Amino acid sequence: EDKVVQSPLSLVVHEGDTVTLNCSYEVTNFRSLLWYKQEKKAPTFLFMLTSSGIEKKSGRLSSILDKKELFSILNITATQTGDSAIYLCAVQHNAGNMLTFGGGTRLMVKP
């Protein structure tokens, strides 16, 4: 059975801290791994990773994939209160682009 596991479940940091969120997976027919940020309602897309070792970067956020060890990390540097959200990791299958989601990591950034 396909499985996507995120850790930690929740995290509380202070502004300026750096955080690392983890996502490990066991899926068949892996195509890509995606990260989403969910603040209130609709998850919004952050990154799509398909190749190992190539870092994707967007401002203070970056992510990398290890297809040998079957995990990805999402780094956020110099955190801000606006980074408070649930961060969702999802694995995309070759068949039909369906996504299997992890349980999410709830990040709270305190002033």
Residue with smaller CB distance to other proteins, 91 or 109? 91
Candidates 39-47, 56-64, 67-75, 76-84; binding stretch for other proteins (CB under 8 A): 39-47
Residue with smaller CB distance to other proteins, 3 or 77? 3
Contact 56, 70 (CB under 8 A): no
Q: Which of residues 42-81 bind other proteins (CB under 8 A)?
A: 42-45, 48
The token pair that represents 98 in the structure block? 């369906």
90 binds other proteins (CB under 8 A): yes
Query: Cβ contacts of residue 76 below 8 Å, gap of 6+?
Result: 18, 19, 21, 60, 61, 83, 107
Four-point Cα dihedral 20, 71, 5, 42, nearest 10: 70
Candidates 13-21, 22-30, 36-44, 60-68; binding stretch for other proteins (CB under 8 A): 36-44
